[in-house]
Amino acid sequence: MIVPLISVVVPVYNGAETIRAGIESLLSQSFQDFEIVVVDDGSTDGTAEVVGGINDSRIKLLRQQNRGAAAARNTAIKQSRGEFIAFQDHDDSSTSHRLEKQLSFLRTHTEVGILGSRSVIIDRNGLSRGGHNHPLADEHLRFELMFDNPFVTSSVMLPSRVLKEVGLFTLDSKRFPEDYELWSRISRRFKLANLPDRMILYRKSEGSLSSTHVAKQIAQIASENIAFALGQSSPSTEITDLALWYHKQYQLLSPRPNFSKMFEIIRDVAALLSDGGSSNQDLSAISEDLIRKFIVERPAQYMPFALRLRRHLMRRHKKIVELTKKHRSPTERK
C-alpha cells in the first residue's frame, strides 16, 4: 500500500450541512498525494452518510462516541500515515494551493514545528466577514503566543515527528483550549511560522469561548508561556496578573497588582524574543503598544485618583451638554 505524504485530519460532530464542501476543497487541491482522515465524533444528523457518499479512496471515515474535538483529532492522528499532518475543521474549507504551498515551505524550513496561514472569516451563509491577520515571523508569533493563540487551527500543517516528540492534544478539560495548549508545548522545541496567503475559509460559529471559565484557563496557559520565556519554572504573581489582565479577568487579580513590574515583564519578553529575530520590525514598538492598551483599558479602580476624577468630570460634562441640547427650545436649537 502506498503511504500518502500528507494526512489531513478532519474532526466532525453534526456537520452534515457543511462537511461535503470542506472535503471537496481538499479533493480539488493542486497537490494530490494525501489522505483525509475523518472522525465522526458521535454525530446524530447523518454526517457519516454524507462522508460515505463521497466516492474517493483517499477518504478514511472513523466513528466514535461523542468525546469532543480534541479526542476526535487524536483518534485521526493515531490512524494517520502521512509524514505531514494538516488540520481542517469540518465547516472550514481550504484554497486550492494550500497543501502544495505549506508542504513546500516545511520541506525547506525543517526547523519549523507549526505552519499556519492567514484566513478569510465567513458566516454561516458563506459571506466574508473579515479575516485573521496573525503575525508571520517566528519572534512575533512567539510574542503573541505569550498571551493568546496566533494560529487558525484549520490552517495548521506540521511534520508528524513533531507530535511524536511533544504528544497529542490534551484531553484534560482544565487545560483547554486544547489547540492553544498544544501549540504552546510545540513552541518550546520548534520554530513557528504563518504564511501570508489566506488559505482557509474559516466559518465563524455562533458559539463563543469568551466565558470567564475559558478565559481563566487561557490566562493560565499564557502565564506559563511567559514564565518559560523568562526562564522561570512557574509563573510569578506579576506574570499571573499580567495574563489575567490581558484577558480582562480583573476579578481574579492579586489584591494590589504591581503594574510597573507587569509592564517591565512585557518589555523583557519583547527584548528576549527580538534577540536573533529574523524580522525587520522591532518587537519593542509592539510591546509599547500593548502597554498603552493596558493603560487605556484598565478599569477605574486601578487608575490613580487624579485620572479617575478626570474621567468622572468628563462624563459629567458630557451628560450636562446632552441635557442642555435636549431642553433647548426649537428657536435656540437653530
Question: pLDDT tens-digit profile of 71-100?
Answer: 999 999 999 999 999 999 999 999 999 999
Residue 119 CA to residue 130 CA, distance in Å, equals: 9
Are 86 and 159 in contact, with CB atoms under 8 Å apart? no
pLDDT category at 303 given cuts 50, 70, 90 is: low
Closest CA to 201 of 24, 11, 6: 24
In which residue ranges of the chain is CATH 3.90.550.10 found?
Answer: 6-203
Predicted confidence band of residue 305 (pLDDT cuts 50, 70, 90)? very low
Spatial distance between the Cα atoms of 267 and 57, rounded to a whole number of angstroms: 53
Other CB atoms within 10 A of residue 189 CB: 10
Locate 93 and state its grid cell: 474549507
Answering whether pTM is above 0.75, one says yes
- Looking at 35-49, 223-237, 251-265, 313-327, which range is the least confident one? 313-327
pLDDT higher than 90, residue 69? yes
Q: Specify the pLDDT at position 243.
A: 96
pLDDT of residue 29: 98
Alpha helices in the chain (DSSP H): 19-27, 47-52, 69-78, 98-108, 138-145, 160-166, 178-187, 212-229, 237-246, 259-274, 283-297, 305-326, 330-333
- Domain 6-203, CATH homologous superfamily name and number: Spore Coat Polysaccharide Biosynthesis Protein SpsA; Chain A (3.90.550.10)
What's the one-letter identity of residue 73? R
Per DSSP, the three-state class of 153 is: helix
